[in-house]
Amino acid sequence: MKSVKLVLGGARSGKSTFALEFARRNATRVLFVATATAGDEDMRLRIAKHRRERPPSWRTLEAGDQLGKRIAVESGDAELVIIDCITLLVNNIFGRYPDELFETLDDAVLEKDVQSEIAELEICLKSCPASFIIISNEVGLGIVPETRMGRLYRDVLGRANQRLAAASDEVYLLVAGIPMALKGRLKGL
């Protein structure tokens, strides 16, 4: 039965491991959607490591934006689509603007760009026959970011996560590798 799961947590909380393990146990035809871009050598190495961790039978779609449209075209016969992750998708949208603009950039511009991307993804979630696992960081539990750009990022990502949680059948929060069901219940693991 089709479902949408949102997996939240902090950095290195076990979000991706949780999603990959669920997929390995419950699906054979998987489309893995990677939103990371290799901006530096460290990121290139991380991306290569993540590729090696996925089964070779899974298809990969590298998409830094327009996720909904790209998944709709590329999902094919996938029974499960994993999106890893919304955090980097929002980062990619922020990266469209030079850093020096963030002190004066109208919040509404960034909010509109991100919410447009999330709306497009919501359409895909409803129209695509596959189930989804969407991974995102929960960045609102820490200290208030020092910079305006950091505060905008936290706020915009938090609202995107809220919207995706509302569109999801199940929502999990991972802490130290332990999943906690926030919406729905743990199934399949």
79: CATH? 3.40.50.300
In a domain, 50, yes or no: yes
Helix, strand or coil, per DSSP, at residue 130: coil
Report the relative pairing of strands 170-175 and 131-137 from DSSP bridges.
unpaired
Mean pLDDT of 71-81: 96
Q: Which residues pair with 5 in a beta bridge?
A: 133, 170
Backbone angles phi, psi at 76, to 5 degrees: 50, -125
Q: Is the pLDDT of residue 37 over 90?
A: no
Active-site pick, 3, 10, 47, 50:
50
CA angle, corner 60, sides to 36 and 40, nearest 5? 25
Distance CA 25, CA 7 (A): 17
Q: Where are the beta strands (DSSP E) in the chain?
A: 4-9, 30-34, 59-62, 80-84, 131-137, 170-175, 178-183
Which pLDDT does position 187 carry in this prediction? 61
In a domain, 188, yes or no: no
In a domain, 189, yes or no: no
Which pLDDT does position 75 carry in this prediction? 95
* 72 among known catalytic residues: no
Confidence band of 189 (pLDDT split at 50, 70, 90): low
Nearest Cα to Cα of residue 125 among 188, 77, 72: 72
In a domain, 70, yes or no: yes
In a domain, 8, yes or no: yes
Q: Is the pLDDT of residue 186 over 70?
A: no
Q: Which amino acid is at 47?
A: I
Nearest Cα to Cα of residue 102 among 148, 144, 156: 148
Q: What pTM was estimated for this model as a whole?
A: 0.93
Higher pLDDT, 112 or 52: 112
Burial readout 148-172 (b: 16 or more C-beta within 10 A, e: otherwise): ebeebbbbbbeebbebbbebbebbb
pLDDT above 90 as % of the chain? 75
Enclosing domain of residue 143: 4-183
pLDDT in tens, 148-171: 899 999 999 999 999 999 999 999
Distance CA 174, CA 64 (A): 24
Helix, strand or coil, per DSSP, at residue 13: coil
Number of domains in the chain: 1
pLDDT in tens, 78-120: 999 999 999 999 999 999 998 888 788 888 999 999 999 999 9
